[in-house]
Amino acid sequence: MKNKNALIFGISGQDGSYLANYLLLKKYKVFGISRKKIKIKNHIKLNIIKHIKMSYFSYTDYAKIKKLIKEKKINEIYFLAGQTKPSLSNKNFIETLHSNLIPVYYIIDIILKYNKKIRFFNSSSCEIFHNTNKTLSEKSKKEPESIYGLSKLISLEMVKFFRVKYSLKMCSGIMFHHESILRDKSFVLKKIITSAKNIYLGKQKKINLGNINVERDWGWAPEYVKLIHKMNNQKKIEDLIIATGFTIKLKNVIKKIFENYKLDWKKHIKIEPDLLRKSDAKVRKANNSRIKNKFKWSPKYKPNEVVNNLIKNSLF
């Protein structure tokens, strides 16, 4: 079978980098888009920088996206980009909506007009659901509490609309929280681990956090990108939740991390009122039975193992 060509939006991030690595192992030709011509640290860490064919332009440049897809004869497209950080997305409404929606629509439009055989995966989020302590499934009520969640719900519905109306091969993965050693330090688990290490080394005394009583389903990103690929190659195309089905309390994660450095976490955690977000759900627990049954999959790394992996890669 002829090798496939894949285009990844968000190729410099955690998910994009691991997906690129996985597709290269499967003998794909991998193409990526970046706004700036810089060496991508994640690609250097994974030793794939020489194997990815990069283009440099804005995700909202319709003409250049179309030209790239046509010239490189792209078979599969993955959108793993857009504004994701709550600290930014909750303030910059227009930027968040623009970055999470315009490129998705452009991709759909190009597929519709140029080549309906192209497969497209859109990364959605568990933030599309309403605030509840109950277990969430694909059929759960969708009522986002943030602009980020709203943008991800609109993109999911947009992909679904064009899939159904025009029989296009596209879907959205409803991604629950997932981490890895490539995760940006601004995300909470990486922030806590980095701070605990710095406290141990005497480089800082406190870490400012928001609500530490939340409960999350944290999965392992290198495992999730395999599911992303499977979803984009489904025979019966549908939107699915990607999650472990297990949760862990952030307070217990903090305790576990600080114990590895023989530190009392209570002496070093400061609850910062500015970091308390009313829109944050106390619990985000997933019913992942559909993706488990469809792909005969079970998570190798549950939230506790994910935390262990992160700690192990941060200790001296």
Residue 308 contacts residue 248 (beta carbons within 8 Å) = no
On the question of pLDDT at 85 being above 60, the answer is: no
Least confident of 115-124, 159-168, 306-315: 306-315
pLDDT digits (tens, 9 = 90+) for 53-75: 999 999 999 999 999 999 999 99
Residue 170 contacts residue 108 (beta carbons within 8 Å) = yes
Task: Quote the pLDDT of residue 46.
Answer: 97
> Which CATH number is 5-178+220-242 given?
3.40.50.720
In angstroms, the CA 31 to CA 115 distance is 18
Task: Quote the pLDDT of residue 278.
Answer: 66
Task: Quote the pLDDT of residue 127.
Answer: 93
* Band (43; pLDDT cuts 50, 70, 90): very high
> Which CATH number is 181-217+246-285+300-312 given?
3.90.25.10
In angstroms, the CA 20 to CA 33 distance is 12
* Band (36; pLDDT cuts 50, 70, 90): confident
Instruction: Please give the backbone phi and psi of residue 178, each rounded to the nearest 5 degrees, phi first.
Output: -150, 150
Alpha-carbon separation of residue 116 from 29, 42, 107 (angstroms): 20, 32, 11
Residue with tokens 């990108």: 225
In angstroms, the CA 26 to CA 265 distance is 43
The structural domains of the chain, with segments of one domain joined by +, span: 5-178+220-242, 181-217+246-285+300-312
Q: Residue 216 belongs to what H/E stretch?
A: strand 215-216
Decide if 5-178+220-242 and 181-217+246-285+300-312 have a common fold.
no
* Band (315; pLDDT cuts 50, 70, 90): low
| pLDDT above 70 coverage of the chain, percent | 95
* Band (95; pLDDT cuts 50, 70, 90): confident
In angstroms, the CA 127 to CA 252 distance is 22
Task: Quote the pLDDT of residue 86.
Answer: 53
Task: Label the pairing between strands 178-179 and 76-79.
Answer: unpaired
Amino acid at 308: N
Mean pLDDT in residue range 170-177:
97
On the question of pLDDT at 87 being above 60, the answer is: no
Task: Quote the pLDDT of residue 138.
Answer: 98
Instruction: State pTM to two decimals.
Output: 0.94
* Band (200; pLDDT cuts 50, 70, 90): very high
In angstroms, the CA 76 to CA 229 distance is 9
Sign of CA dihedral 247, 251, 256, 260: positive
Query: How is residue 120 written in tokens?
Result: 């497209």
Residues near 306 by beta carbon (within 8 Å), at least 6 away in sequence = 178, 179, 218, 219, 220
CA 160, 129, 305: angle at the middle one, nearest 5?
105
- Alpha helix positions (H), 131-266: 147-166, 188-200, 221-231, 250-259
**Eight-class DSSP state of 82:** S
In angstroms, the CA 137 to CA 290 distance is 9
In angstroms, the CA 27 to CA 40 distance is 21
Q: Of 55, 37, 41, 51, which is closest to residue 13 (Cα–Cα)?
A: 41
* Band (184; pLDDT cuts 50, 70, 90): confident
In angstroms, the CA 219 to CA 306 distance is 6
On the question of pLDDT at 1 being above 60, the answer is: no
On the question of pLDDT at 316 being above 70, the answer is: no
Task: Quote the pLDDT of residue 94.
Answer: 87
Mean pLDDT in residue range 240-254:
96
Radius of gyration of the chain (CA): 20
In the predicted model, what is the mean pLDDT of the chain?
Answer: 93
